[in-house]
Amino acid sequence: VASPTAIYVAYNGWANPIHATLPPGDWRLIGSTAAAYAPMGGMLAPADQIDVGRTRTIEAKSVAIFSAR
């Protein structure tokens, strides 16, 4: 697995989801504290990482971690 060229961390402390626009790049979701990712321990295995482009919904009261390739 190649090393990422950048890491972006998005934090949503609000009670509702927000839409985040990431900086230019080819981004993948690699981890999240949102409830949907709890069964995976919050971090996704390389095969499970999600290509997200430049926009992503950040769930309420959660942190999402992205890597650029």
Residue 35 pLDDT > 90 = yes
Q: What percent of the chain has pLDDT over 70?
A: 99
- Rounded to whole angstroms, the Cα distance separating 28 from 13 reads 21
Q: What is the model's pLDDT at position 1?
A: 61
* Cα separation values, 66 from 2, 7, 13, 23, 44, Å: 14, 6, 17, 11, 11
pLDDT of residue 69: 82
